[in-house]
Amino acid sequence: MDNFLKKKMKKMKINIKRFKYTILTAFDSIKTNAVRSFLTVLGIVIGVASIILIMSLGEAAENLILGEINQMGAETVVALPGELTDETSIFSDSLTQKDVDALSRTSNVPNLVNIMPAVVVPGELEYLGETYSPAVMLGAEADFFSEVFNVFPNPGSNFTEFDVDGRSRVVIIGSKVKEELFGNSNAIGERVTIKDNQFRVVGVYPQIGQRGLFDMDDLALMPYTTAQTYLLGTNYFHRIIMQADSADNVDKMAYDVRATLRESHGLDLDREDDFDVLTQQGLVDGVSIIVGALTAFLASAVAIALVVGGIGVMNIMLVSVTERTKEIGLRKALGATKKAIMQQFLWEAVVLTLVGGVIGVILGAALSYLASIILSQVLVSGWSFSFPVFAAILGVVVSTAVGLIFGLYPAKKAAEKSPIEALRYE
């Protein structure tokens, strides 16, 4: 038994020693043909770099979108008119004041603490010949904005319930809108024109950026009644935005909202909802699914690129085997077994693709970082760099696998060369 173990140990030692020199030989050979080796693994480098780039950008995009969704507020529930699949939901007329009244009843939706109907008004504001269309022009309630989004006009003040009831033509504008129309001069009390109607500016929001669902800087807010009567000529809402008493009760409240709206709309059991109820968590799940699918699609495209890269590696390995026929013959004449030759070429392919994979990871990370800097400065604020550790590991593992798979055939070819024919090869 002892002897058996000793033999085993000895064999293991020899194998480790061989492995060491196999790897050294592989590096040596790659170094000798540095330019060719680099060109050979370029496909792998680009493939792996693409994986990293896609995964990194995908993750950052997801984080960004999720961040925006998170700004919606965990307690917020939004009802939209029309069916979920209905693209024209903004024109759907299923949400009315009757629904708002029904939802406001504590017996229907006990967890509701705030409710605000809203309409979206397309168009632009005009002041002394200057025109500007804000990102969002909204008919809603100013108090709700203050309570839910914690934003107060300064200078100026909120329009009130009386303004809503009396359909006052008043408007609160964001800091950017003010800047565009008024520059440095005073805006409060001035009259702007929206679709031939004169509106008095009662407040300007300070520059605070995104709050909840809206960019407060690039927004115009008027009473929803005013917007319905003078600008839209309708009596339905595009959104009903509600706030729950706590984030834990959001799901329950969403259920109550749905039940209330179904009852209010007199929907039978066999009819589908003619509205949609959104919560933050629901949106998060939706986005994760979409981004995940997109990432998977791109990743599979990259997988194809990696296979193509692998074929390139195989091609060059075959050339290398032919070129080094004499060396193979010599090694065999000096006592290399088929297995040893096979291992040598296989490891050469693996080392080649592994190095390519590592370069790809570094390149991909660098490109993602660069992209994140550009994107955050030029396109989207809040875009952040994220290094996808999983993708990096995947990239290295896959490139190694590519080397193993595509190195196998050339290595086998090398191993099967007859020593004397190989030695004679010129």
Partner 1 sequence: MALFEVENVTKIFKSGDIETKALKGVTFKIERGEFVSIMGPSGSGKSTLLHILGFLSEHTDGIYKFNNKKFTDFSDEEVARIRNEEMGFVFQSFNLLGRNTVYENVRLPLLYSSIPENEWDGKIKKAIEQVGLSHRIDYETSRLSGGERQRTAIARALVNNPRVIFADEPTGNLDSKTGGAIMDILQDLHKKQGSTVVLITHEESTAEYAERVLHILDGNLDRDFKVEKRRKGSNG
The yes or no reply on residue 18 touching partner 1 (CB under 8 A) is yes
Our finding on whether 413 is near partner 1 (CB under 8 A) is: no
Q: With beta carbons less than 8 A apart as the criterion, state whether 117 and 95 touch.
A: yes
Characterize 293-309 residue by residue with b for buried, 16 or more Cβ atoms within 10 angstroms of its Cβ, and e for exposed.
eebeebbeebeebbbeb
* 334 lies in the site for partner 1, by CB under 8 A: yes
21 near partner 1, judged by CB under 8 A: yes
Q: Which stretch binds partner 1 (CB under 8 A): 115-123, 263-271, 307-315, 413-421?
A: 413-421
| Position 10 contacts partner 1 (CB under 8 A) | yes
Which residues 6+ apart lie within 8 Å of 319 measured at CB?
none
Closer of 319 and 420 to partner 1 (Cβ): 420
From 13-21, 38-46, 305-313, 357-365, span contacting partner 1 (CB under 8 A): 13-21
Sign of CA dihedral 212, 168, 192, 118: positive
**Does residue 330 belong to the site contacting partner 1 (CB under 8 A)?**
yes
How many other CB atoms are found less than 10 A from the CB of residue 313? Answer: 26
Residues contacting residue 136 through CB under 8 Å, at least 6 positions apart: 120, 214, 215, 218, 219, 220
Instruction: Name the one residue in this structure whose structure tokens are 């699918």.
Output: 293
Among 4, 106, 335, 389, binds partner 1 (CB under 8 A): 335
What is the distance between the alpha carbons of residues 347 and 292, in angstroms, rounded to a whole number?
Answer: 35
Interface with partner 1, residue 327, by CB under 8 A:
yes
Whichever of 271 and 338 has its CB closer to partner 1, that residue is 338
For partner 1, give the closer residue by CB, 176 or 331.
331
The CB density around residue 415, as the number of other CB atoms within 10 Å, is 21
CA–CA distance, 352 with 357 (Å, rounded to integer): 9
**Least separation, in Å, of the C-beta of 18 and partner 1?**
7
Residue 420 found at the interface with partner 1 (CB under 8 A): yes
Nearer CB in complex with partner 1: 62/348: 348
According to DSSP, residue 273 is labeled: P
State the minimum distance, in angstroms, from the CB of residue 306 to partner 1. Answer: 31
In 265-336, where does DSSP find H-type helix? 280-323, 325-333
Q: What one-character DSSP code corresponds to residue 228? A: I
331 binds partner 1 (CB under 8 A): yes
Q: Is 106 in the site for partner 1 (CB under 8 A)?
A: no
**84 vs 420, beta carbon nearer partner 1:** 420
Task: Name residues contacting partner 1, limited to 26-65 (CB under 8 A).
Answer: 28, 32
| Angle formed at CA 335 by CA 422 and CA 355, multiple of 5 degrees | 75
Binding flag, residue 266, partner 1 (CB under 8 A) = no
Closest by Cα among 253, 23, 348, 272 to 15 = 23
Rule CB under 8 A: say whether 247 interacts with partner 1: no
Report d(CA 350, CA 19) in Å as an integer: 13
252 binds partner 1 (CB under 8 A): no
Helix or strand or coil: residue 245?
Answer: coil
For residue 271, state whether it binds partner 1 (rule: CB under 8 A).
no
Size of residue set near partner 1 by CB under 8 A: 26
Instruction: Determine, following the binding rule CB under 8 A, whether residue 3 of this chain makes contact with partner 1.
Output: no
23 binds partner 1 (CB under 8 A): no
Q: Which is nearer to partner 1, 15 or 131 (by Cβ)?
A: 15
Choose which of 12, 14, 128, 366 interacts with partner 1 (CB under 8 A): 14
Q: Which stretch binds partner 1 (CB under 8 A): 88-96, 195-203, 332-340, 354-362?
A: 332-340
- 10 Å Cβ neighbour count for 166? 14
Name the segment binding partner 1 (CB under 8 A); options: 10-18, 64-72, 138-146, 231-239: 10-18
Cβ atoms of 120 and 206 within 8 Å: the answer is no
Residue 321 binds to partner 1 (criterion: CB under 8 A)? no
- Exactly one of 66, 340, 367, 401 binds partner 1 (CB under 8 A); that residue is 340
Query: In this structure, are residues 239 and 78 in contact, taking their beta carbons and an 8 Å threshold?
Result: yes
Stretch that binds partner 1, among 41-49, 117-125, 327-335, 403-411 (CB under 8 A): 327-335
Among candidate residues 42, 21, 34, the one with its CA nearest the CA of residue 353:
42
Residues found near partner 1 in the complex (CB under 8 A): 10, 13-14, 17-18, 21, 28, 32, 326-327, 329-338, 340, 418-421, 423
